[in-house]
Amino acid sequence: MLVDQKPVVMAAVSNTNKQARVSRVRDLLAELIRSLTVETETGTPTNIQDVLSAIGVQGKILDVSMMKTKQNFDEDTKIAIVIQQSWQSASKCPICGGYMLPSQSVSFDHKTRVRDGGLGTASNGQMVHPFCNSGVKS
Ligand SMILES: [Zn+2]
């Protein structure tokens, strides 16, 4: 979703001054997760305009791909990349498929169980909901 809406997210982040940017990014992520959770539960599609309105971004979405693109990454773009990548890779619980809030506690799960010889290595680890990690894997 964020990938599809990358230009919009970049615009939302870059239209923010430095002081407000961190909280803006946090609000954006929280609102996106809330909205996507509703989408998962009810089938109501996430509307990026609604998400941006909820965090106080005013005005219509512009086609920022029309804007001049620089060759180097500026600070705003770097933030957008971090959001984009963390959203793609780490925002869903691999056990239940539900979204994981960055502010929630996480549990570190062995992909291959210890009793089956799984080691405490990064490649054998994954972040999951604490609740999901408390059950017995089939
Ligand atoms: Zn889970």
Please state, in angstroms and rounded to a whole number, the distance separating the CA atoms of residues 118 and 116.
Answer: 6
* C-alpha 129 to ligand 1 mean position (Å): 4
Residue with tokens 């309105």, as numbered in its chain = 53
Residues 91-130: tens digit of each pLDDT: 688 889 888 776 778 888 899 999 999 999 988 988 888 8
* C-alpha 115 to ligand 1 mean position (Å): 21
Quote the pTM value: 0.37
* C-alpha 107 to ligand 1 mean position (Å): 10
Please state, in angstroms and rounded to a whole number, the distance separating the CA atoms of residues 25 and 74.
Answer: 16
* C-alpha 99 to ligand 1 mean position (Å): 8
Residues 50-101: tens digit of each pLDDT: 776 777 766 555 545 545 566 787 888 777 777 776 666 656 888 898 887 7
